[in-house]
């Protein structure tokens, strides 16, 4: 568990540095493969004007670029805080072997990074959510799905 603590300390260091530098929120992440850090990420939401630029997503993007792959096989993620719903979804899609986190989602909520409203909304039927969501042109959109099923040159994921 000593190596894991070294990697987590790097994620924590990145989170502190991000706040001190004024570049974004107090979140950092590293991705490790074969016992070495292959990618780092910090929260860049405000510095890049990108609401998806959370530390975990940035680290995933950097790791996938470094590996030349859209999956993080045989990788572990170390993140300074329990992932939000968006990051958790991205992590599942990226498929690392394991995720370690330091602060909890309650710790984040205590400093006004509260994701509970998203967890509450996800379980509701679409018509009951606060964000008005309207289905439109499904029949036309189905063409892409039919083409996907027929395609022999696709890369499954």
Q: Which residues are catalytic?
A: 56
Q: Is the dihedral of CA 66, 67, 68, 69 positive or negative?
A: negative
| Residue 36: its H or E element | strand 36-42
- Owner of token pair 């998806």: 52
What does the angle CA 102 – CA 93 – CA 155 come to, to the nearest 5 degrees?
Answer: 155
3-class DSSP state of 9:
helix
> Rounded CA gap, 52 and 77, in Å?
18
DSSP structure class, residue 78:
E
């Amino acid at each position: 568990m000593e190596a894991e603590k070294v990697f987590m300390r790097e994620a924590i260091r990145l989170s502190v540095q991000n706040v001190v530098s004024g570049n974004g929120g107090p979140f950092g992440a590293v991705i490790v493969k074969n016992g070495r850090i292959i990618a780092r990420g910090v929260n860049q939401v405000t510095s890049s004007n990108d609401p998806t630029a959370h530390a975990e997503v940035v680290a995933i993007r950097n790791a996938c670029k470094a590996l030349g792959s859209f999956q993080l096989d045989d990788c572990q993620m170390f993140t300074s805080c329990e992932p939000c719903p968006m990051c958790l979804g991205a992590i599942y899609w990226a498929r690392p072997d394991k995720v370690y986190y330091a602060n909890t989602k309650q710790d984040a909520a205590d400093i006004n990074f509260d994701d509970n409203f998203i967890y509450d909304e996800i379980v509701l039927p679409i018509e009951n959510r606060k964000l008005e969501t309207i289905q439109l042109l499904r029949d036309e959109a189905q063409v892409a799905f039919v083409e996907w099923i027929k395609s022999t040159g696709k890369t499954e994921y």
